[in-house]
């Protein structure tokens, strides 16, 4: 199981298959008849003329306790496999995974158990449903049905795309790939939600406006959200759904399929402004020739990465930069390079992060980031150099060999 698809999610038509008619109705997703009806509805919404699973992908139902045991074991396995990592400390120094200016309200295992209705596993190629027999939430039926619809889209995607792909060169590339996958599933989830809302006597929502409304809510309540890294992972759903909604408006389901071949490979390409226009990234500028200050310790660099525009946006918000300034600056991102190094005993970590932009970043950003003294920020004409360390004594930074 992978965590990528395990995050909790928030005109009737009928499709004939195997000589049966499937009438959608409000139903219990733990029952097979309900699962089948939802599956055929998702096939119809996506315009699929072929049923690759002959009725339903592999689906199982487990209890809340069984799901909790899975999460506990996964956490233990991950901790045992990874051990202490300088990357963990580096992300904490930059406040990606610590509270910073934003409250640290990350989900616990109990929260995940309570709010997850289903998930898809690319490794096992199956959908798992978590039974919540005591769920009294008035929106439980809507949430459960739409979540299952979302996960069934992942099962269908897995016949077209590689959901196990892991050969990403940068975090920015990974997030861009994840955004198109989760955005696609979220867009069709939003279409399906209107079916469910109709069944429950509720008015439909504008599927084009829904992802924009979701993003606006995140922007307005950022300080009440979880850590910047978690918020970035949350935003990919709505950013991707918004991108897909534009594709859908231009040519329906075929346009979305064509969009698979031309989706942005950098997250800045998903950061649409209020006018709906996506920033264009010049491939000859992104990351080519970027260099950053060398790390002040002996030995080899632990690693390097390109974080991209979305993570830069949530980074800025985590340090208290307002949405308008952070978003506009992130839209001007053209490349970054993050270097991380640690002492042999992992007692000291150093981080050097250079970002380049198509326009000069506002001077207020450097002032805000430097305010607490935890970060050293050196602004350039169209760049920001950010350094941080947990060393108890001052470290001397110098130019990296590639910069000389």
- Give per-residue pLDDT as tens, 132-156: 999 888 889 999 999 999 999 999 9
pLDDT digits (tens, 9 = 90+) for 229-263: 999 999 999 999 999 998 888 888 888 887 777 78
pLDDT at 117: 96
Q: Six-digit token pair at 251?
A: 């040519």
CB 154 within 8 A of CB 40: no
If you search the block for the tokens 């596993």, which residue do you land on? 121
To the nearest 10 degrees (0 to 180), the angle between helices 228-259 and 209-220 is 160
CB atoms within 10 A of CB 261: 6
Read off the DSSP letter of residue 361: P
Nearest to 323 by CA among 219, 224, 240, 395: 219
Helix H or strand E segment including 215: helix 209-220
Q: In the predicted model, what is the mean pLDDT of residues 327-341?
A: 92
Residue 55: which region, alpha, beta or left (left: phi > 0; alpha: psi -120 to 50)?
left
CB 331 within 8 A of CB 281: no
pLDDT band for 309, please (50, 70, 90 cuts).
Answer: very high
To the nearest 10 degrees (0 to 180), the angle between helices 228-259 and 308-318 is 150
* 354 beta partners: 337, 385
More confident position, 310 or 340: 310
Share of the chain above pLDDT 90, in %: 57
Cα 74 → chain centroid: 20
Q: Taking the alpha carbons of 275, 278, 282, 287 in that order, is the dihedral positive or negative? A: positive
If you search the block for the tokens 């975090």, which residue do you land on? 171
CB 313 within 8 A of CB 326: yes
CB 145 within 8 A of CB 26: yes
- Tell me the pTM: 0.86
Query: What is the chain's mean pLDDT, rounded?
Result: 84
pLDDT band for 299, please (50, 70, 90 cuts).
Answer: low
pLDDT at 85: 81
Q: Six-digit token pair at 304?
A: 């390097």
395 has a pLDDT exceeding 80: no
pLDDT at 98: 73
pLDDT at 15: 35
Pairwise CA distance, residues 92 & 115, whole Å: 26
pLDDT band for 303, please (50, 70, 90 cuts).
Answer: confident
290 has a pLDDT exceeding 80: no
pLDDT digits (tens, 9 = 90+) for 87-121: 988 999 999 987 544 334 445 788 889 889 999 99
pLDDT band for 284, please (50, 70, 90 cuts).
Answer: very low
Rg (CA), the chain: 23
Residue 393: which region, alpha, beta or left (left: phi > 0; alpha: psi -120 to 50)?
beta
What is the per-residue burial (b if ≥16 Cβ within 10 Å, else e) of 110-130?
Answer: eebbbbbbbbbbbeeebbbbb
DSSP, collapsed to helix, strand or coil, labels residue 119 as: strand
pLDDT digits (tens, 9 = 90+) for 118-131: 999 999 999 999 99
Q: Which residues, in sequence order, are CB contacts of 73 under 8 Å at separation 6+?
A: none
CB atoms within 10 A of CB 161: 16
pLDDT at 339: 87
Using a 10 angstrom Cβ sphere, with 0-12 exposed, 13-18 middle and 19 or more buried, the burial of residue 315 is buried
């Amino acid at each position: 199981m992978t965590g990528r698809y395990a995050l909790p999610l928030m005109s009737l038509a009928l499709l004939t298959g195997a000589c049966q008619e499937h009438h959608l109705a409000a139903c219990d997703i733990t029952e097979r008849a309900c699962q089948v009806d939802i599956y055929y509805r998702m096939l119809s919404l996506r315009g699929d003329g072929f049923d690759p699973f002959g009725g339903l992908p592999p689906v199982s139902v487990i209890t809340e306790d069984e799901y909790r045991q899975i999460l506990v074991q996964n956490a233990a396995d991950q901790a045992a496999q990874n051990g202490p990592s300088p990357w963990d400390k580096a992300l904490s120094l930059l406040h990606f995974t610590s509270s910073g200016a934003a409250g640290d309200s990350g989900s616990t295992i109990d929260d995940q158990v309570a709010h997850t209705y289903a998930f898809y596993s690319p490794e096992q190629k199956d959908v798992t449903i978590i039974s919540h027999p005591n769920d009294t939430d008035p929106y439980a039926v809507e949430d459960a049905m739409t979540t299952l619809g979302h996960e069934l889209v992942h099962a269908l995607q897995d016949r077209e795309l590689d959901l196990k792909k892991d050969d990403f060169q940068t975090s920015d590339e990974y997030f861009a790939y994840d955004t198109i996958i989760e955005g696609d599933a979220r867009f069709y989830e939003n279409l399906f939600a209107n079916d469910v809302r109709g069944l429950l006597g509720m008015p439909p929502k504008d599927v084009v406006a829904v992802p924009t409304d979701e993003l606006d809510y995140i922007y307005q309540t950022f300080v009440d959200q979880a850590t910047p890294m978690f918020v970035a992972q949350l935003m990919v759903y709505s950013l991707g759904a918004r991108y897909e909604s534009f594709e859908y408006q231009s040519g329906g389901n075929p346009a979305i399929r064509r969009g698979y071949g031309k989706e942005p490979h950098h997250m800045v390409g998903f950061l649409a402004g209020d006018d709906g226009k996506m920033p264009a990234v010049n491939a000859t500028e992104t990351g080519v020739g970027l260099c950053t200050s060398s790390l002040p310790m002996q030995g080899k660099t632990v690693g390097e990465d390109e974080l991209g525009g979305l993570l830069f946006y949530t980074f800025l918000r985590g340090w208290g930069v307002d949405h308008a300034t952070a978003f506009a600056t992130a839209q001007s991102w053209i490349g970054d390079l993050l270097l991380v190094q640690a002492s042999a005993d992992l007692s000291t970590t150093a981080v050097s992060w250079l970002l380049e932009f198509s326009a000069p970043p506002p001077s207020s950003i450097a002032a805000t980031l430097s305010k607490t003294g935890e970060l050293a920020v050196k602004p350039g004409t169209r760049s920001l150099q950010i350094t941080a360390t947990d060393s108890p004594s001052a470290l001397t930074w110098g130019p990296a060999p590639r910069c000389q």
